[in-house]
Amino acid sequence: MNKGLKDLGFRSHMFRHAFINRLKACNDIPTRLAESITGHFSGGSEFNNYGTVGYTLEQKLAVIKRVAL
């Protein structure tokens, strides 16, 4: 992805930061849900949570639709 964006002066990581900014601007999205969507995790290793019930794809999609342009 970065290779295709190079001519535009962008990197894929810039999109992740922009997306996180949009999630934060909503002010009501649970941190764990936002972290699950973006692939970041502030509570240590996400390995400890594997095998437990997390957020569904439908829940994640609903949030993504809220912050989409």
Q: Give the Cα separation of 69 and 12 in Å (integer).
A: 17
Q: What is the pLDDT of residue 51?
A: 61
- One-letter amino acid of 5: L
CA dist 44 and 10 (Å) reads 29
Q: 59: helix, coil or strand?
A: helix
Encode the chain (69 residues) as per-residue pLDDT tens digits: 778 778 888 777 888 888 899 999 999 999 888 888 887 776 655 566 666 667 889 999 999 999 986
- For the chain, the structural domain boundaries read 2-67
The pLDDT, as a whole number, for residue 18 is: 87
Closest by alpha carbon to 34, among 4, 64, 69, 3?
Answer: 64
Q: What is the pLDDT of residue 2?
A: 75
Tell me what pLDDT residue 50 has.
Answer: 63
